[in-house]
């Protein structure tokens, strides 16, 4: 059965509200649910690390077992770095994944064009590969002015990101060094 997040909230909300009413008897509680992520029968909890800055706060990502969709994120109380707390960016992590403004298609703007075209990933990756090869070869330097062998390309620079994890950094470093890049930077130093 396919259940969207909205439907899921509705269902769990009704169940929670009924439960609350039955338990308290006298209380008229709001019918709308705020209880996403509390029902462990339907929710799977996965630990993760906040991608935004170098502090590396622990997060708990709660996903719906049926759909695999994220329904809530919050700080991981067991994590030694943040002990459950989060800043504004960390607290907003949910909408990094669940966001109507998020791009789901490759968009391409041709040189001198004033509009975006939708493309496939295969098309985009091939195009990136071709352009990287072209730039790398065009900017490749075998020997420097002193005649020393350097085997580097000066035609490409790489700017990394604080959102990269250790393994991604290793992969990128390996790729960039093997292409012969020397201009490898990170946003935190700029």
Closer residue to another protein (CB): 9 or 176: 9
Q: Is 154 in the site for another protein (CB under 8 A)?
A: no
Q: From residue 62 to residue 101, what is the string marking binding to another protein with x (rule CB under 8 A)?
A: ----------xxxx-x----x-xxxxxxxxxxxx------
Task: Return the residue matching tokens 């109507």.
Answer: 100
Q: Is 180 in the site for another protein (CB under 8 A)?
A: no
Q: Is 47 in the site for another protein (CB under 8 A)?
A: no
Q: What's the closest the beta carbon of residue 138 comes to another protein, in angstroms?
A: 43
Q: Is 155 in the site for another protein (CB under 8 A)?
A: no
Give the torsion through C-alpha atoms of 172, 175, 179, 182, to 10 deg: 30
Residues 6+ apart with CB under 8 A from 74: 37, 59, 60, 62, 84, 86, 91
Q: Which of 74, 53, 49, 59 is nearest to 163 (CA)?
A: 53
Q: Is 41 in the site for another protein (CB under 8 A)?
A: no
- Cβ burial of 172 (10 Å; 0-12, 13-18, 19+) is middle
Give the torsion through C-alpha atoms of 17, 21, 23, 27, to 10 deg: 120
Q: What's the closest the beta carbon of residue 164 comes to another protein, in angstroms?
A: 23
Q: Is 172 in the site for another protein (CB under 8 A)?
A: no
Q: What's the closest the beta carbon of residue 95 comes to another protein, in angstroms?
A: 7
| ∠ Cα 44 18 65 (to 5°) | 15
Q: Is 18 in the site for another protein (CB under 8 A)?
A: no
Q: Is 16 in the site for another protein (CB under 8 A)?
A: yes
Q: Is 29 in the site for another protein (CB under 8 A)?
A: yes
The partner residues of 107 in beta bridges, in order of sequence, read 118
Q: What's the closest the beta carbon of residue 94 comes to another protein, in angstroms?
A: 5
Give the torsion through C-alpha atoms of 158, 164, 169, 171, to 10 deg: -90
Which positions touch another protein (CB under 8 A)?
Answer: 9, 16, 20, 24, 27-36, 38, 72-75, 77, 82, 84-95
């Amino acid at each position: 059965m396919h259940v969207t997040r909205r439907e899921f909230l509705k269902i769990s909300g009704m169940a929670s509200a009924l439960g609350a009413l039955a338990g308290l008897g006298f209380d008229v509680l709001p019918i709308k649910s705020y209880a996403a992520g509390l029902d462990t029968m339907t929710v799977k909890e996965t630990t993760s690390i906040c991608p935004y800055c170098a502090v590396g706060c622990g997060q708990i990502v709660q996903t719906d077992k049926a759909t695999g969709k994220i329904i809530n994120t919050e700080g991981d109380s067991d994590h030694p770095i943040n002990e459950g707390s989060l800043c504004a960016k960390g607290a907003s992590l949910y909408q990094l994944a669940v966001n109507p403004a998020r791009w789901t298609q490759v968009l391409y703007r041709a040189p001198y064009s004033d509009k975006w075209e939708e493309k496939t990933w295969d098309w985009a990756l091939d195009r990136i590969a071709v352009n990287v090869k072209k730039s790398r070869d065009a900017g490749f330097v075998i020997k420097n002015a002193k005649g020393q062998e350097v085997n580097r390309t000066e035609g490409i620079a790489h700017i990394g990101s604080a959102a990269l994890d250790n393994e991604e950094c290793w992969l990128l470093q390996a790729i960039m060094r093997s292409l012969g890049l020397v201009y490898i930077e990170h946003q935190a130093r700029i």
